[in-house]
Amino acid sequence: MKKIAVFTSGGDAPGMNACIRSVVRSAIYHGIEVYGARYGYNGLIEGDIFKLKSYSVSNILQRGGTILKSARSKEFFTKEGRAKAYKQIQAKGIEGIVAIGGDGTFTGANLFNEEYGVPIIGAPGTIDNDLYGSDSTIGFDTAVNTALEAIDKIRDTANSHDRVFFVEVMGKHSGYIGIQTGIGGGAELVMVPELSTTIDDVLNTLKQGRDRDKTSSIIIVSEGDEQGNAIEIAAKVAKQLPDLDIRVSTLGHIQRGGAPTAFDRILASRLGIAAVEGLLNGQKNCMVGIVNNEMKYTNFKLAISKSKPLNPELLKLVEILSI
Ligand code: F6P
């Protein structure tokens, strides 16, 4: 293999730049030419593919976002789109691809490999941490730390005014950010999409807190919770407990930005190198992940179809620690 391409796709995540840097430098280290495609699969389709040198990735290790830009390509999910992408990479002589992204990215990669046999290795880049085959994903740790910083600040004001705050964190189908910030931020309750929490559960938690003379509470709501978003849940609770002073804070996309933590920089660097080495060693159609602190390759199909269940003991921990 003499030429490979790298791109970032799906929702961006802090540490993607560190991974791009690692792919580029390890490829060059192994004597391979490396190209970047802009805007994920759209770059492959449009032929927006350019050569990367070692200095192209200088000074990006510590930066959030992605220098290659990102997109969720609709065209790549059509046969015509993938045919165009194949034509472009053939024209450039690209023999292997590193795709940095989440489940949507790997679903596309799997299709592309099945149709055209191009070796692709995925590096898990998503703040949601929802990929089977990796204990953590690039950006998750940073997102949790960003959310925690915000929750600490919210707690200050919640405490001063004796208020209940519903704080919404990201994770449309995944409660990983919710559970980590719930434990790290000392929340009274965490509502995640994977496990059912009723409005009565919320009311009981708040009533019990009041009985124990708690003056303020924080409830974390993962954005995909079945009871609705934080504003909707807060409204339902306010109806039942009108004497409570309730506020809502939706943290939103601040969780996707900012400098990656040390953990994410190191994880991204390790995954980038393992992705390139995987391609060189004949791996294809798989995601490289970290499992028990080791680099492991998991077939795309498994990585996207198998769920990585939340540990319910962690939710119990929130209950015990908020007593
Ligand atoms: O997949 C990462 C993620 O941040 C989810 O947690 C969230 O639901 C979604 O992306 C938001 O996507 P967008 O940036 O398109 O609003």
* Distance (Å) from CA 272 to ligand 1 centroid: 23
* Pairing mode of beta strands 217-222, 286-291: unpaired
Residue written as tokens 């992204």?
Answer: 101
Tens digit of each residue's pLDDT (9 = 90 or more) over 185-221: 999 999 999 999 999 999 999 999 999 999 999 999 9
- The pLDDT score that the predictor gives to residue 315 is 81
* Ligand 1 neighbourhood includes 267 CB (under 6 angstroms): no
The Cα–Cα gap between 142 and 15 comes to: 8
The β-bridge partners of 49 are 37
Which of 48-57, 174-183, 308-317 shows the lowest mean pLDDT across its residues? 308-317
* Ligand 1 neighbourhood includes 101 CB (under 6 angstroms): no
pLDDT of 318 strictly over 90? no
**Structural domains of the chain, ranges and CATH numbers in brackets:** 3-139+260-305 (3.40.50.450), 143-256 (3.40.50.460)
- The pLDDT score that the predictor gives to residue 88 is 98
Going by alpha carbons, the residue nearest to atom 11 of ligand 1 is 11
> Given ligand 1 and candidates 137, 170, 179, 250, which is best to mutate, with the most ligand atoms within 8 Å of its CB?
170
User: What percentage of residues in the chain have a pLDDT greater than 70?
Assistant: 100
Which of 63-72, 102-111, 220-229, 306-315 shows the lowest mean pLDDT across its residues? 306-315
Mean pLDDT over the full length of the chain:
97
Q: What tokens appear for 49 in the block?
A: 């593919």
Mean pLDDT value across residues 107-112: 97
Set 103, 128, 141, 225: catalytic member: 128
Residue among 260, 251, 13 at smallest CA distance from 147: 251
The Cα–Cα gap between 204 and 3 comes to: 60
Residues 6+ apart with CB under 8 A from 49: 5, 35, 36, 37, 38, 43, 88, 89, 92, 94
What region does 117 belong to: left with phi over 0, alpha with psi -120 to 50, or beta? left
Question: Does residue 128 have an active-site annotation?
Answer: yes
- The pLDDT score that the predictor gives to residue 197 is 95
